[in-house]
Amino acid sequence: MEKYKLKSGENIFVVRVEHNVSLRVFAVALTDTFYNNGEDFPERLTKKEAEKILRRSMFRYGCQGQFEDGYFEASFEESEKYSKILNPAFEWVKEKYEWLRDS
């Protein structure tokens, strides 16, 4: 931890954390965001936007994402909505980040 001071004068510690990001972790971070916003996977998404979404998701939910395995078992409709976003998210990450595709 490093000691810093905000412009307001408040003392803070800065904690740096590293995460290991797999294809699944990246795709789930994107999917959770668009699902929560009630949006389909966008036709155009830049790497910069995707990485910002990933960082925000990792900070909030870690590598597991927001929804636990089995979360959608009780609702077929919500599961379908989620999967409709997840599949293109996997394909997008595979296309843009070739290193993750080969795992």
The count of structural domains within the chain is 1
- The model's pLDDT over 41-94, given as tens digits with 9 standing for 90+, comes to 999 999 999 999 999 999 888 877 887 777 777 788 888 998 999 999 999 999
Q: Give a yes or no: residue 2 inside a domain.
A: no
Q: What is the pLDDT of residue 51?
A: 96
Helix (H) or strand (E) holding 29: helix 23-36
Query: What domain range includes position 69?
Result: 20-101
Over residues 16-25, the pLDDT tens digits come to 888 889 999 9
- The confidence score (pLDDT) of residue 103 equals 65
Q: Is residue 77 part of a domain?
A: yes
Q: How many CB atoms lie within 10 A of CB 47?
A: 10
